[in-house]
Amino acid sequence: MTLIVHHLNNSRSQRILWMLEELGLPYEIKRYQRGAKTMLAPAELKRVHPLGKSPILEDTAAGQTLVETGAIIDYLVEYADGKLGPPAHRDDVLRYRQFLHYAEGSVMPPLLLLLVLNRIPVIGATAAKRVQPMIDVHLDYVESELAKRPWFAGDQLTGADIMMSFPLEAAKSRAGLDDSRPATIAWLDKIHARPAYQAALEKGGPYAYA
């Protein structure tokens, strides 16, 4: 086995399992659990990579260890000779690149901020009310894009969709994404029904956002 995913429960690494299942690539999973009280990644992840976070992908045959979900997605697209990579049409390529980076660069920061604020008694709840409108701007934008096409980059599933899955699942769980944005909910239902997504869930273990 050359590909090893260091997988943390209820985390971004679930996307990498889904990507590998869509690509049909063999891989091994090494599982890690968040601390029951802190919800942080365990210290043993730092033995794999100094940042101590997940996902981490090891390609033992190539001697490579990668972190950052987007970088791992790019690596796997190349590994699989372009499958799930940028579409052929230039406009779709640009959308692919945008959403591949938008997921972590724009959507996740306010979602993480909201998560932290909701854990702070009294003051946090007040501050969270100021963050929610920022998230709503992103959710409205995503809804407008998915109302135009079936997938984020065009007519086919790509790595951009896989990248966008976690922030939108998190938004549905804790940041107001509901049936008032039907195109986004339909997209979530569609990815959750895919056999590769279900196989990744089975292999990865309990996942709070599916």
Picking from 101, 99, 103, 121, the residue whose alpha carbon sits closest to that of residue 112 is 103
Specify the pTM. Answer: 0.94
Residue ranges of alpha helices (H) inside 33-122 are 69-79, 90-102, 108-117
Picking from 169, 181, 204, 160, the residue whose alpha carbon sits closest to that of residue 31 is 204
Between 75 and 209, whose confidence is greater?
75
The answer, yes or no, to whether residue 25 has pLDDT greater than 80, is: yes
Picking from 74, 71, 89, 206, the residue whose alpha carbon sits closest to that of residue 156 is 89
Looking at every residue in the chain, the average pLDDT score rounds to: 94
User: 21: helix, coil or strand?
Assistant: helix
What digits encode the pLDDT tens for the residues 113-169? 998 898 888 788 888 889 999 999 999 999 999 999 999 999 999 999 999 999 999
Residue 43 confidence (pLDDT): 85
- DSSP E strands in 88-195: the ranges are none
The answer, yes or no, to whether residue 1 has pLDDT greater than 80, is: no
Residue 189 confidence (pLDDT): 98
Q: How far apart are CA 18 and CA 48, in angstroms?
A: 22
Residue 42 confidence (pLDDT): 82
The answer, yes or no, to whether residue 200 has pLDDT greater than 90, is: yes
